[in-house]
């Protein structure tokens, strides 16, 4: 993909190599560092400004260090570079109101928290760059809790040349898979459920654009030999499930069986036995046409 983008005239940048696994530690928690797999989460480019956001995952607190070689090159060329306040990510500093408002129980996840608390800290500013959608000087910002509200205020205070528009909880955080601007004044939403919260001044397509297909026109997603009452599709990335369900003859999902980690059949059904040979009786011959040595015995010498 990098070669294809380069062929189109796009300058492709890569983060620095992460090296070996590194354990990171703060006075309140410890975690295993992660490589920058999603660079659009903790960085967003707004005009001529590089904005580093405040991560909500402890393992990603130093992830942007691998992007700083590129940031310094652009800074030396005249770009602006700002960062949100680094969150402490201590116990009780994340806002879970978005999930509790949807009757989701988060007590199990929060009770297993091993991080220490900071007295008087309260809810912190945490935010991902993928919560923004850029439309020229207008930026749509998804705000789902108080932590995001603090980030929106910080963006407005530090980037006064842009117009930030608040979207009220379109998702828990990222919106780059929820809405796509098609042209000025028109956007595409992932589902009609989001029709209630379009951006100001933008129209939304009023009809459902999902294609209509008849059942006969859709491809079969499962091989006929896998449709069995005692078999269940299991993905090839789950060897533990394969071993546990070996006696049940559960099969992985069919698909591409090339390359590492591709789905593969755990136990193939036996092919049907070949048909038994049919013994055909020769038609009886008239005595006049039978060989003499079969009807009258050996000839007399």
Residue ranges in the chain modelled with pLDDT below 70: 108-112, 195-270, 278-301
* Domain contains 56: yes
**Taking a C-beta distance cutoff of 8 angstroms, is the pair 173, 130 a contact?**
yes
Q: Do the domain assignments include residue 249?
A: no
Distance of alpha carbon 233 from alpha carbon 266, whole angstroms: 10
Residue 264: predicted pLDDT: 47
Residue 281 is given by DSSP the state P
Domain containing 58 — which CATH number?
A: 3.75.10.10
pLDDT digits (tens, 9 = 90+) for 30-60: 888 888 888 989 999 999 999 999 998 888 9
7 occurs within a structural domain: no
pLDDT reported for residue 162: 94
d(CA 125, CA 269): 55
Say if 63 falls within a structural domain. yes
Q: How many domains does the chain have?
A: 1
The answer to whether residue 222 sits within a structural domain is no
Q: What is the pLDDT of residues 139-159, one digit of tens each?
A: 999 999 999 999 999 999 999
Predicted confidence at residue 79, as pLDDT, reads: 95
Q: DSSP states of 14-59 as a string? A: -PPP--S--EEE-SS-EEE----S-TTTSEEEETTEEEE---S-GG
- What three-state secondary structure class fits 203? strand
The pLDDT score that the predictor gives to residue 198 is 54
Confirm whether 224 is domain-assigned. Answer: no
266: which strand partners? none
- Domain-located, residue 155: yes
**233 within some domain:** no
The per-residue pLDDT for 94 is 85
Q: Residue 41 is part of which domain span? A: 13-107+117-177
The CA distance from 165 to 181, in Å, is 15
Question: What is the pLDDT at residue 73?
Answer: 95
pLDDT score, position 288: 60
Residue showing tokens 């006064």: 160
Q: How many CB atoms lie within 10 A of CB 294?
A: 8
Residue 89 carries which DSSP code?
A: -
């Amino acid at each position: 993909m990098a070669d294809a983008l380069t062929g189109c005239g796009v300058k492709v940048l890569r983060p620095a190599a992460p090296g070996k696994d590194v354990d990171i530690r703060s006075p309140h928690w410890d975690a295993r560092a992660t490589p920058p797999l999603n660079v659009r989460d903790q960085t967003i480019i707004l005009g001529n400004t590089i904005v580093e956001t405040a991560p909500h995952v402890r393992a990603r607190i130093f992830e942007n260090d691998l992007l700083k070689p590129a940031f310094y090159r652009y800074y030396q060329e005249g770009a602006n570079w700002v960062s949100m306040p680094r969150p402490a990510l201590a116990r009780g500093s994340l806002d879970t109101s978005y999930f509790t408002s949807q009757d989701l129980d988060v007590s199990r996840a929060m009770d297993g928290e091993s991080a220490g608390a900071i007295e008087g800290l309260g809810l912190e500013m945490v935010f991902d760059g993928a919560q923004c959608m850029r439309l020229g000087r207008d930026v749509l910002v998804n705000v789902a809790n108080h932590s995001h509200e603090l980030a929106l205020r910080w963006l407005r205070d530090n980037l006064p040349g842009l117009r930030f528009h608040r979207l009220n909880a379109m998702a828990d955080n990222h919106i780059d898979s929820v809405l796509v601007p098609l042209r000025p004044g028109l956007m595409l939403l992932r589902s009609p459920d989001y029709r209630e919260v379009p951006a100001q001044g933008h129209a939304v397509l009023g009809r459902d654009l999902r294609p209509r297909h008849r059942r006969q026109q859709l491809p079969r997603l499962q091989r006929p030999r896998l449709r069995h009452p005692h078999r269940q599709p299991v993905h090839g990335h789950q060897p533990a499930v394969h071993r546990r369900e070996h006696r049940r003859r559960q099969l992985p999902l069919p698909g591409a069986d090339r390359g590492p980690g591709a789905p593969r059949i755990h136990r193939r059904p036996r092919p049907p036995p070949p048909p038994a040979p049919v013994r055909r009786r020769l038609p009886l011959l008239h005595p006049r046409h039978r060989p003499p040595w079969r009807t009258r015995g050996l000839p007399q010498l």
